[in-house]
Amino acid sequence: MVKLGMRKLWMTLLVATSVIALAGCARLPVGAPAAMQSTGAETITVTGYGEANGDPDVLTVEVGVSVSSTDISQAVASSNTTIERITGALGELGIDENDVQTTGFNVWPEDIYSPATGSPTGEKNYRVDSTLRVKVRQVDQAGAVLEAVIKNGANNIYGMTFGVQDTASLASQARTAAIADARVRAAQLAKELGVTLGEVQKAAEVSGGPIYPAYAAMGLGGGGEVPVAPGQITVSISVEVTFGVTR
């Protein structure tokens, strides 16, 4: 009788446990787990672009002197003398010596060929190339600077590039324009998608302030001061902005 009573007790406990387990299962929603049911806030992310233009206030120009001679010492001496004349003329125009930098000095031999036979004569012609980089901080002096260096022996004028010494103001204007552009793009997307544009969730500058330099247009025909057109400088910035949206 005791054994039979214990067996009934175990059967009763087993049934009760099963009922509790089934009751717990009944509380869970059918389908995916709760973590997979939740959704995050809806957003729209766009990239805005902005540019700002300004007048250049500095000019950088490469000035070259190229000479040749069958006597290497004479070629080097001639190049040095010409460079000294050029730097002296720049100083007279008020160009600071720290704004004049030697960027190249090259010497190499060239074979001399006989006009009659086209064969090397065994003689050498030595060529010397010297280059200065000049920074002109008053752009209205550009023409006068070019005239001075040419008059004093420069026979190569390389790329002339205008720039802006302090780009902070232009970058600020470009950044404001980029944010405004991002708002316009996001508003258009929201309208097309049938949602309402909300507040900015996050923003990042994805490219900051690259400068598009103005390359000078100049004419070397005739004498006198060289005419130079400085143009304008462009600073461009891109921003990535995420906006919240509501349905």
CATH of residue 173's domain is 3.30.110.170
Same domain, 64 and 156: yes
Same domain, 65 and 121: yes
Residue finishing a domain among 104, 138, 163:
163
Axis crossing angle, helix 142-151 with helix 72-92, rounded to the nearest 10? 150
Q: Is residue 25 situated within a structural domain?
A: no
Q: Is residue 36 situated within a structural domain?
A: no
Of the pLDDT bands very low, low, confident and very high (cuts 50, 70, 90), residue 41 is confident
Q: Which residue has the higher pLDDT, 4 or 53?
A: 53
pLDDT value at position 232? 87
Asked whether the beta carbons of 123 and 103 are under 8 A apart, the reply is no
Same domain, 65 and 151: yes
Judged against a pLDDT cut of 80, whether residue 233 lies above it is answered with yes
Average pLDDT of the residues in 163-179: 92
Judged against a pLDDT cut of 70, whether residue 50 lies above it is answered with yes
Judged against a pLDDT cut of 90, whether residue 224 lies above it is answered with no
pLDDT value at position 157? 93
Q: Indicate the number of domains in the chain.
A: 2
Judged against a pLDDT cut of 60, whether residue 17 lies above it is answered with no
Q: What is the pLDDT of residues 64-88, one digit of tens each?
A: 999 999 999 999 999 999 999 999 9
Same domain, 189 and 204: yes
Q: What percentage of the chain reaches a pLDDT higher than 70?
A: 77
Q: Is residue 69 situated within a structural domain?
A: yes
Q: How far is CA 1 from CA 9, 14, 215, 217, in A?
A: 13, 20, 111, 117
State the CATH number of the domain containing residue 151: 3.30.70.2970
Q: Is residue 218 situated within a structural domain?
A: yes
- 242, 77, 229: which is closest to 143 by C-alpha? 229
Asked whether the beta carbons of 50 and 236 are under 8 A apart, the reply is yes
Average pLDDT of the residues in 104-128: 93
Of the pLDDT bands very low, low, confident and very high (cuts 50, 70, 90), residue 22 is very low
Q: How far is CA 184 from CA 53, 101, 198, 204, 208, in A?
A: 21, 47, 13, 17, 20
pLDDT value at position 27? 44
Q: Is residue 226 situated within a structural domain?
A: yes
Q: Is residue 100 situated within a structural domain?
A: yes
Residue 103, classed as helix, strand or coil, is strand
Q: What percentage of the chain reaches a pLDDT higher than 90?
A: 63
- 68, 52, 83, 61: which is closest to 209 by C-alpha? 52
pLDDT value at position 200? 96
Q: Is residue 3 situated within a structural domain?
A: no
Q: Is residue 78 situated within a structural domain?
A: yes
Q: Which domain holds residue 154?
A: 58-163
Same domain, 222 and 184: yes
Same domain, 112 and 62: yes
Same domain, 69 and 140: yes
Of the pLDDT bands very low, low, confident and very high (cuts 50, 70, 90), residue 236 is very high
Task: Determine which helix (DSSP H) or strand (DSSP E) holds 231, and give its type and residue range.
Answer: none
Judged against a pLDDT cut of 60, whether residue 205 lies above it is answered with yes
pLDDT value at position 229? 80
